[in-house]
Amino acid sequence: MPMTRNREQCEAKRNSKTGQLQPDKCVKTQVRKREHEKMLIHGGKKLSGEVVIGGAKNSTVALIPAAILSRTPVTLEAVPHIQDVENLMAILADMNVKSEFHDTVLTIDPTQIKDTPLPNGKIKSLRASYYFMGALLGRFGRAVVGLPGGDDIGPRPIDQHVKGFEALGAHVSDDHGAVVIQAPESGLHGARIYLDMVSVGATINIILAAVTAKGKTVIENVAKEPEIIDLATYLNNMGAIVRGAGTDTIRIEGVPELRAKAPHTIIPDRIEAGTYLAMAAAQGEGVNVKNIIAEHLDAYLAKLEEMGVNMDVHEDSIFVYPSGDLKMVQIKTMPYPGFATDLQQPITPLLLRAQGEGIIIDTIYPTCAAHSRITPHGCRHYRSRRHHYFAPCRSAQWR
């Protein structure tokens, strides 16, 4: 049964002039906490105009924990208005770190931070909270962090994170579901680390721990996502020495401490951008998608062009023309710079507008294919139809 919570419930009346609902009388009541909100979509209309892409969610959830490494206040710009930000701010508050979020600017003051264990509670509210492992280890030489929750996209083991922490000299153990990490009395030391599999999370966590470790750290077979480059830029502007972000090998020279000196603007969200591009191609009459770094979407744009989507790619925007006949394509998700697994869902409705038969193979997170039927071989096949119909559906995850 859904949980309940207290909330101020407002009765409403309709304004006779504007026709809009306005609050009339508010009373305290108990309402059910919904597991998933509903979205009612009135379709059948062409889209036109422009949309501005916000800051990258996958950068934001790493940069906020990384802020505790700074000995001075941190300012982040272009921060998206998402629940993950609110959750991370609540976790910061548990460590006596003050934060304020206005418009798209988030200020974080870690100068009075307290070394606080985070074994459970808010830390389990999102998967990316595991970045506090590397951030706390780099700041205090120890961390107690509960294994996080987040969206349901299948298992994401942290063995590569643990491998990196141990290579830096830390001892890692499990205490009733919480990860306990302790650096030696002499502190963390540089090391050569080879990741057995490409992992964005492990790459970020090891960087966060290594920037204040003594000596030189070399991490090989790292993730090359734009969010890794964004993190390295952010840390370097605080005084860290991180080289090679965006390549297979990252080299780090440890420094005693970090100090933020200037605001950092988060890169545009390539997943949000890809979603609007697909929507513009499927149902647009000319849509301009602004605040884009096209290079971050090379593999995705190549597939749109292969389908026959007509676009003008500019320095920081993409204009999508009305689409004619589209052809089906084959897609295989891969680590960056390949086709992003988070973009296979947004492109699915566009594929249904295409002619022929196509296939999508997700090699990263197979359960991300939960929005459609999967064949026994782990692939999804699509055949185009002349007509599509609306129907109620349930989303098992945020994608």
Catalytic residues: 151
Sheet holding 264-265, edge to edge: 98-102, 105-109, 74-77, 264-265
Geometric angle at alpha carbon 138, from 133 and 142, rounded to 5°: 60
Q: Locate tokens 């009305």: which residue?
A: 322
Of the candidates 271, 340, 277, 267, the one whose C-alpha atom is nearest the C-alpha of residue 304 is 277
SS3 string of the chain? CCCEEEEEEEEEEECCCCCCEEEEEEEEEEEECCCCCCCCCCCCCCEEEEEECCECHHHHHHHHHHHHHECCCEEEECCCCCHHHHHHHHHHHHCCCEEEEECCEEEEECCCCCCCCECCHHHHHCHHHHHHHHHHHHHHCEEEEECCCCCCCCCCCCHHHHHHHHHCCCEEEEECCEEEEECCCCCCECCEEECCCCCHHHHHHHHHHHCCCECEEEEECCCCCHHHHHHHHHHHCCCCEEECCCCCEEEEECCCCECCCCCEECCECHHHHHHHHHHHHHHEEEEEEECCCHHHHHHHHHHHHHHCCCEEECCCEEEECCCCCCECCEEEECCCCCECHHHHHHHHHHHCCCECEEEEEECCCHHHHHHCCCCCCCEEEEECCCCCCCCCCCCCCCC
CB 294 within 8 A of CB 271: no
Residues 6+ apart with CB under 8 A from 296: 226, 267, 268, 270, 273
Provide φ and ψ at 102, rounded to 5°: -130, 130
